Chains A and B, each alone.
Chain A
Amino acid sequence: MSAIPILKERQKQIYQKGRTPFEMTCEKHSLAGSVSQRACVFCGSRVVLYPISDALHLIHGPIGCAAYTWDIRGALSSGPQLHRLSFSTDLQEKEVIFGGEPKLYQALIELIDTYRPKAAFVYSTCIVGIIGDDVEAVCKKVSRERKIPVLAVHSEGFKGTKKDGYKAACDALFQLVGTGSVQDIAPAGINILGEFNIGGEAWIIKKYYERMGVQVVSVMTGDGRVDEIRKLHGAALNVVQCSGAMTFLAEMLKEKYGIPYIRVSYFGIDDMAKALYDVADHFEDDPGIKERARKLVRDEVNAIYPKLKEIRKDLSGKRAAIYVGGAFKAFSLIKALRYLGMKVILAGSQTGNKIDYEILRDMCDEGTVILDDANPLELSKYIIEKRADLFIGGVKERPMAYKLGIGFCDHNHERKIPLAGFEGMLNFAREVHTSVTSPVWQFVPFRQR
């Protein structure tokens, strides 16, 4: 078996349940020279704002950041498609020396005149502050001249982690909150925060809440529109998924407008049902909501249950490893996998905090490995040791799993199918089944040992 040394500085970010006393370090800056699966501040901002489809997203910097994020997510829009284009100021040496403000100004004017967006987001990349560009000033000027909000997103890559990028995105969003009319919003109105409409997931969730008699005021930011941001303050409750990304916004809405928030997850049957019931509980004055929620859950579960049972026959006892961005998603996945009869032998996240890891530890079976900000060496070491049949992660983990001959389910923002909601649970089960039951695994070298 491979003897892969774990860097000493990394040992405290790895825990094996049942072995050592639980003491996990997390929320650390990635170690120089280790190949982290994390991204940067810019990446955090970009993923949060990406689905806002009637806004211009202009990336201020050299070409790379824009080229690598062009049409990168499966975030669907029911209307405008502007978010699927990639815009960059493509800074050249000349601008690095003399400043990029004139080019930024000209790019904004040209693009706004061509595409008539409802707002523009200007993402600062690494070098923007260093070459001394006053992005705020350019944004203000263009905003005055073109009469649309032009918002600077302070997303210089090196200024923290992906989480700081989420915060920068939320700061930009918050500047628009409170500028729209909230007249037509019913008392039972919610915002769905941290749902990016991957493969149409926001549409699925929205329909559930509407069937319960709850009005969805805004979804942030799936199938998002600028006007939806403007009326976020009109909701009575914020329902936050993808907590890492959107808790910042929920906190700001709570502080300024007194709107409470709850954390939910839409993955798996248990958590999906809980997300509906928790909202119903909030609007307990209208008992009809809870009643309708119960019926909805019953109907939806009945619709998928026979098919899931069939799938479970093949998956029972198979072993899964989970490595995702936020820890909250890992919780749901553990439950969903158990529902399919599978065992979780590794669970980890890029950005979990101490409390997240305590919850993970409590959920997991003895021997499960828990990892924070892992690298491919560590991930592969444990998936071989634990003989995983399935790996759930993002696009960067896929080749590692495949190289070793392990099934894979993409649970990141680049996937194209909806995995949220009850119907999403069925998609998830089918996706897992399609991978795990392939006959190709019988030829895999490490399984023949």
Chain B
Amino acid sequence: MEARYLLKDLKTKPSAAATQNACKLCSPLGAALVFKGIANAVPLLHGSQGCSTYIRRYLISHFKEPIDIACSNFGEQTAIFGGGANIKLALDNIIAQYAPGMIGVATTCLAETIGDDVPMFIREYLKANPKKNLPPIVHVSTPSFQGTHMQGFHNAVLATVSGLVTKSLSEKKQPSKTINLFPGMVSPADLRHLKAIIAAFGMKVMMLPDYSRTLDGELWCEYQRIPSGGTPAAAIEAAGSALASIELGRVLAKMPETAATHLEDHFGVIGHRLGLPMGIRQTDRFMQTLAAIADTAIPARFVEERGRLLDALVDGHKYVNNLRAVVYGEADLVAGMVDFLSEIGILPVICATGENGGHLAPIVKQILDPKYHDRVNIIEGVDFVDIEDAVQEVRPHLMIGHSKGYSLARKLDIPLVRIGFPVHDRVGGSRLLHLGYQGAQNLFDCIANTLLERRQAASKIGYTYM
């Protein structure tokens, strides 16, 4: 039986009160992702079973890896009398079954609404088990009625740093050059690339989080309770003694308190707040910052990579210049993409995010030449129906963002270049490289080839040359 009419025939309209086809996720997801990037850590969501199951399912569909997220499993009694007993039982069971090196507790809307005092529950738990060799327990407050998954993500990074970094370790001088890197929510391929870059500068790195292996690992011979990889807790504890911190994200740089500012304020570690190294200028800045910290020249391989990238951009410039794109997703990723697009002549006529911080507009305007400002529509706190409404006026050549924009791209019949998270409808979401010169190279190839394929398919002749 054929459908009489299709999703693309459905006429939508923005709503002031409702969110339709959200362009954001809830904050516990971001926190769970951070905890998955810490060695031997188990995330525990304090709330109903569904929260952990839905979030696992959503993450699994992207990373295609087993992702255990425990839950304190609220029942009706819990909601009435509070979740203290449940969280303690959950901690007992996680310790018995996983023997974790750390437990990251993130709250849910339910726990926050009934007013559970989770830090107190954890203190009581530690007090009641003085003899046991308990793993560190980090708590982050992530009510889903505040902010998005990005807030959950950054708050979990901050909570981990403020919870684990100790004075005694931080006062010791480290024998090797180590820096702290807070990369933001990027892909496992990005994380691996960042680590390789820093290693090439002759430095060690405490990167938080680091799910490059925990969420993109090899096959197993037997089930691993907790996948190998992740930032070692010991490295986090010593973060106060690092040479410097770098955090990535232009929007993150506007936040009053982050892991980097915390380390600067409490341990005197200088924090460099950069944009995501997307495109040439931002990657240059990242490299220069590393060179300054390491007190060395930029390694030759990056000079070569940069040269090769420029060569490729020149070779392909005509296929992309003067085109229009819709860019959507996390504000920091959108800003990073605008950085790169502005270098290859694609105008981001719509820059959209589900985040509501109000930081994206000034950032995008700062990146783009003022002559383009009135052609660019920067919309924050929006959903996909709002984006669809905005798109009507601009006739873009392509959309750039995660999988959830696909139904809109299909409806508008414009190609979608998939970046970021989630990529639920393609293989290889974990292997998408966005950062560094190599990341820019990859993005450029994807964008140019997508446009070329579209042009070739639309051609009556179908040349085998460009």
Residues on A lying within 8 angstroms of B by beta carbon are: 1-2, 4-5, 7, 29-43, 58, 61-71, 76-82, 84-93, 95-96, 103-104, 106-107, 110-111, 114-115, 125-127, 130-131, 157-161, 200, 203, 376-377, 380-381, 384, 395-396, 398-400, 402-405, 444-446, 449
Q: Please tell me which one of the listed residues B1, B72, B74, B223 contacts residue A400 in the complex, with CB atoms under 8 A apart.
A: B223
Interface string of B47-87 (1 = CB under 8 A from A): 11111111111101101111111111111101100000011
Other 11 A-B pairs with CB < 8 A, given A127-B110, A395-B57: A7-B96, A30-B71, A32-B93, A36-B73, A65-B54, A70-B21, A87-B20, A91-B145, A92-B146, A93-B145, A399-B64
Contacts of B28 in A (CB 8 A): 64
**1/0 contact string of B28-61 vs chain A (CB within 8 Å):** 1100000000000000100111111111111011
Does B168 touch A at the CB level, under 8 Å? no
Which A residue's beta carbon lies closest to that of B148?
A63
Of A38, A96, A395, which contacts B49 at CB under 8 A? A38
Asked if A88 and B18 make an inter-chain contact with CB atoms under 8 angstroms apart, the answer reads yes
Q: State the Cβ distance, B279 to closest chain A Cβ, in Å.
A: 29
A62 and B222 contact, CB distance less than 8 A: no
Task: Say yes or no: is B453 at the interface (Cβ < 8 Å to chain A).
Answer: no
A87 to B19, CA, bound (A): 6
Q: What separation, in Å, do the CA atoms of A96 and B145 have in the docked complex? A: 8
Between B28, B66, B87, the greatest number of chain A beta carbons within 10 A of the residue's beta carbon is seen for B66
- Distance in angstroms from A277 CB to nearest chain B CB is 25
10 smallest A-B Cβ distances: which pairs?
A40-B50, A64-B26, A33-B93, A33-B90, A380-B223, A157-B48, A107-B18, A106-B17, A90-B19, A62-B144
A-B contact pairs, 15 of them (CB 8 A): A2-B223, A5-B96, A31-B89, A34-B97, A63-B26, A67-B25, A78-B2, A93-B146, A106-B16, A126-B74, A130-B110, A380-B223, A398-B60, A399-B65, A404-B220
Partner pick for B5 among A79, A103, A384, CB 8 A cutoff: A79
CA distance A441 to B396 in the complex (A): 44
Instruction: Out of A78, A157, A159, A445, name the residue touching B4 (CB < 8 Å).
Output: A78
Q: Are B53 and A110 in touch, CB under 8 angstroms? A: no
Report whether B17 and A107 are in contact in the complex, using a CB–CB cutoff of 8 Å.
Answer: yes
Given the known A-B contacts A40-B48, A96-B113, A157-B48, are A444 and B223 also in contact in the complex, defined by CB atoms under 8 Å?
Answer: no
Q: For residue B411, give the distance in angstroms from its CB to the closest CB of chain A.
A: 11
A396 touches B75 (CB 8 A): no
Are the CB atoms of A33 and B70 closer together than 8 Å? yes
**Which residues of A lie under 8 Å from residue B25 when comparing CB positions?**
63-64, 67-68
Taking CB atoms, residues of chain A closer than 8 Å to B22 are: 63, 66-67, 70, 86, 88, 90
Interface string of B203-220 (1 = CB under 8 A from A): 000000000000001011
A33, B72: Cβ atoms under 8 Å? yes
Distance in Å: Cβ of A421 to nearest Cβ of chain B: 14
- Are the CB atoms of A7 and B93 closer together than 8 Å? yes
Distance A104 CA – B73 CA, assembled complex (angstroms): 27
Does B298 touch A at the CB level, under 8 Å?
no
Query: Is B128 on the interface with A (CB-CB < 8 A)?
Result: no
Are B1 and A32 touching (Cβ within 8 A)? Answer: no
* A268, chain B: closest CB distance, angstroms: 23
> In the complex, which of the residues B19, B146, B219 contacts A444, with contact meaning CB atoms closer than 8 Å?
B219
| Stretch of B7-15, B153-161, B183-191, B342-350 that contacts chain A | B7-15
Question: Contact partner of B60 among A31, A76, A399, CB < 8 A?
Answer: A399
In the assembled complex, B407 has its CB within 8 A of some CB on chain A: yes
Determine the chain B residues whose CB is within 8 A of the CB of A42 once the complex forms. Answer: 50
Q: Does B24 contact A (CB under 8 A)?
A: yes
CB < 8 Å A-B pair total = 272
Q: A residues within 8 A CB of B146?
A: 92-93
Q: Which of A80, A93, A96, A395 contacts B61 (CB 8 A)?
A: A395
Is B108 located at the chain interface by the 8 A CB criterion?
yes
- Pairwise interchain contact A40-B53, C-beta atoms closer than 8 A: yes
On whether A43 and B53 interact (CB within 8 A), knowing A32-B89, A130-B79, A157-B110, the answer reads: yes
B61's closest neighbor in chain A, by CB?
A395
Q: A39 contacts B49, CB within 8 Å?
A: yes
Q: Are B56 and A62 in contact (CB-based, < 8 A)?
A: no
- Chain A contact residues, majority secondary structure: loop
Chain A residues, Cβ within 8 Å of B60: 395-396, 398-399
Q: What separation, in Å, do the CA atoms of A403 and B50 have in the docked complex?
A: 24
**Bound Cα distance A106, B71 (Å):** 34
B199 at the interface (CB under 8 A from A): no
Q: How far, in whole Å, are A105 and B200 apart by their CA atoms in the complex?
A: 58
Judge whether B91 is part of the interface by a CB distance below 8 angstroms.
yes
Cβ distance A7 to chain B, nearest Cβ, rounded Å: 6
| Residue of A32, A36, A40, A92 with most chain B CB atoms under a 10 A cut-off | A32
Tell me the nearest residue of chain A to B76, going by C-beta.
A159
A424 to chain B, nearest CB (A): 15
- A43: which B residues are within 8 A, CB to CB? 50, 53-54
Kindly state whether residue B3 has any CB partner on chain A within 8 Å. Answer: yes
Q: Is the CB of A39 within 8 A of B54?
A: yes
| Complex: A88 Cα to B384 Cα, angstroms | 13
Best-surrounded residue of A67, A103, A114, A384 (most CB of chain B within 10 A): A67
Pick the most buried of B57, B76, B407: most chain A CB atoms within 10 A of its CB: B57
Q: Cβ of B26 and Cβ of A32 under 8 Å apart? A: no
Mask, B257-299, CB within 8 Å of A = 1, is: 0000000000000000000000000000000000000000000
A61 closest partner in B (C-beta): B109
Is B466 close to A, CB under 8 A? no
Q: Which of A58, A62, A110 has the most CB of B within 10 A?
A: A62
B223 contacts A376, CB within 8 Å? yes
B97 and A377 form a contact (CB under 8 A): yes
Residue in A closest to B94 when the chains form the complex, CB atoms: A33
Which B residues, 220 to 276, have Cβ-Cβ distances below 8 Å to chain A?
220-223, 225
The answer to whether residues A93 and B19 also contact, given A32-B73, A64-B25, A126-B47 and a CB cut-off of 8 A, is: no
Q: Are A405 and B49 in contact (CB under 8 A)?
A: no
CA distance A364 to B180 in the complex (A): 55
Q: What residue of chain B has the Cβ atom nearest to residue A129's Cβ?
A: B79
- Given that A68-B54, A159-B76, A403-B66 are known contacts, is A103 also in contact with B26, CB under 8 Å in the complex? no
Cβ–Cβ contact A445 & B110, under 8 A: no
Query: Which residues in chain B, 160-186, are within 8 Å of chain A measured between CB atoms?
Result: none
Partner of A92, one of B108, B145, B220: B145
What is the CB-to-nearest-CB distance from B26 to chain A, in angstroms, rounded to a whole number? 3
CB of A446 within 8 A of CB of B222, answer yes
Q: How far is the CA of A160 from the CA of B89 in the complex (A)?
A: 18
Q: Does B367 contact A (CB under 8 A)?
A: no
B134 to chain A, nearest CB (A): 14
Within the assembled complex, what's the spacing in Å between the Cα atoms of A252 and B68?
38
Say yes or no: B110 contacts A81, CB within 8 Å.
Answer: no
B143 within 8 A of A: yes
B117 in the interface (beta carbon within 8 A): no
* A86 proximity list for chain B (CB < 8 A): 20-22
Residues on B with C-beta less than 8 A from A114 are 11-13, 15
| Shortest beta-carbon distance from A64 to chain B in Å | 3
B114 at the interface (CB under 8 A from A): yes
Instruction: Please report the C-alpha to C-alpha distance between residue A35 and residue B148 in the assembled complex, in whole angstroms.
Output: 24
Interchain CB contact (< 8 A) of B89 among A1, A33, A71: A33
Query: What distance in Å separates the Cβ of B20 from its nearest Cβ neighbour in chain A?
Result: 6
Pair A32/B90 contact, Cβ less than 8 Å: yes
* Cβ–Cβ < 8 Å partners of A400 in chain B: 66, 223
Contact between B145 and A107, CB atoms less than 8 A apart:
no
Task: Please tell me if the beta carbons of A1 and B222 are within 8 angstroms of each other in the complex.
Answer: yes
From A394, which residue of chain B is reached at the shortest CB distance? B57
Using Cβ atoms and an 8 Å threshold, which residues of chain A touch B222? 1-2, 380, 384, 404, 446
Q: How far is the CB of A369 from chain B (nearest CB, A)?
A: 15
CA distance A111 to B65 in the complex (A): 37
